[in-house]
Amino acid sequence: MHVLDLLSTFVFALVGARVAADKGLDYGGIAFIAAIASVSGGTLRNIFLGLRPIWIIDPWIITSIIAAVVITLVFRRVTHVGRTLLIMDTLGLAVATMSGTQLAFEMDVTWFAAIILGVITAVTGGLLRDVLCQLEPVLLHRETIGTSALMGAITFVGLHQLEVVENWAAIAGGVVVILTRVISIQFDLHLPKFKKV
Query: What is the reported pLDDT for 39?
Result: 96
% of residues, the chain, pLDDT over 70: 94
% of residues, the chain, pLDDT over 90: 69
Asked whether 114 and 104 are in contact (CB, 8 A), the reply is yes
Q: Where are the domains of the chain?
A: 2-186
- Count of alpha carbons within 13 angstroms of residue 63, beta-carbon side: 8
Element of type H or E holding 37: helix 27-49
Selection from 56, 4, 14, 3 nearest residue 38 by Cα: 14
pLDDT tens track for 142-155: 668 999 999 999 99
pLDDT tens track for 149-184: 999 999 999 999 999 999 999 999 999 999 999 998
Q: What mean pLDDT is predicted for residues 89-93? A: 90
